[in-house]
A and B are shown apart, each in its own frame.
Chain A
Amino acid sequence: MNSSDIIAAIALVISVATAIGDIVVSRNINKVNLHSYYFNEIYREHLIAKIPKARKRISLNYNGRLAGYEDMIQEMKDLQNDSLFYKYNDEKYFAKLKEAAQNVEDFLIAGVGETFVGEEQTRFMEELHNLMTELYKTLNNQYVK
C-alpha cells in the first residue's frame, strides 16, 4: 500500500463519517421541528389568546370577592385535555403541566366565595401571578427542550 492509497482511504473514512454526521444532524433538526410543530399546534391558541383573556377577567370586586374566575377554571381544564398528546409522548412533562394547571384551578376554586380585605387582596393576586408564572415556565421549558 503506497501513500496515495493511504490518503484515499483516509479521505473515504472522512467522507463516510461526514455523511453519517449529516444524517444524524438532519434527523435531530427534523425531531426539533416536529416537536416545535406539535407544541405550536397544541398550545398556540392557549398561550396567545385563551389564557391571557381568561386572566384579564379575574378580579377582586368592591366586596373583596373573587369575580370572573370561571373562564380561567375552564381554561385550566381545557389545557390539560389538549395536552393529552404528551401523556404518551412525554409523561414527565404531562404530569408537571397537569400539576401547574391544577394548582391554578384549585387556588381559584378555594378563593370563590371568600372575602379578601386589604393586604389579603394583594397577597391573593400575587399568589395567582406566581402560579400563572409557574404554568408559563412549565410550558416554555417544554418548548425549548
Chain B
Amino acid sequence: MVNRFELDFNKALTKLSGFDLGKDMYDEQIGKTIDFDKDITIVIPDRVDLIGSSFIQGFFEEIVNNIGISGIEERITVLSSIPNIKQIIIDNLN
C-alpha cells in the first residue's frame, strides 16, 4: 500500500490553523488508509507558508497516538516549502 499522502484542499488556503481543521483534514485524507507499519510521507502543498501549532496538534493527534513522537521522527517524511517543517511539527506536538 502506498503510504504517501498529498494534502488536497481549497487552493486559496495558504495558512493552516485550527485544531479542528487539522483533525478533519487528517480524518478525511489520511486516517482511513494510513498504514502505521510502514514509513509515511506527507506532502503539504508549496503554497502553504504558515502552519499554526493548533493545526499541527489536530492533524497529528492520531499519528502521535499510534506511533508517538519518536515514531514521527523516525518514520515520517514531510515535504513542504516551509524550511525545517519536520522540526517545527515535532516542536509543536505536546
Contact = CB atoms under 8 A, between A and B. Distances in A.
A101 B52 CA distance: 11
A112 B53 CA distance: 16
A102 B92 contact: no
B17 interface: yes
B15 interface: yes
Categorize the interface residue count of chain A.
10 to 19
B83 to A, nearest CB: 13
B10 interface: no
Contacts of A113: 14-15
A106 B94 contact: no
Interface of B: 14-15, 17-19, 50, 52-54, 91-92, 94
Interface of A: 73, 76-77, 80-81, 84, 87, 98, 101-102, 105-106, 109-110, 112-113
28 contacts: A73-B50, A73-B52, A76-B53, A77-B53, A77-B91, A77-B92, A80-B92, A81-B92, A84-B94, A87-B94, A98-B94, A101-B53, A102-B19, A102-B52, A102-B54, A105-B17, A105-B52, A105-B53, A105-B54, A106-B18, A106-B52, A106-B54, A109-B15, A109-B17, A110-B15, A110-B17, A112-B15, A113-B15
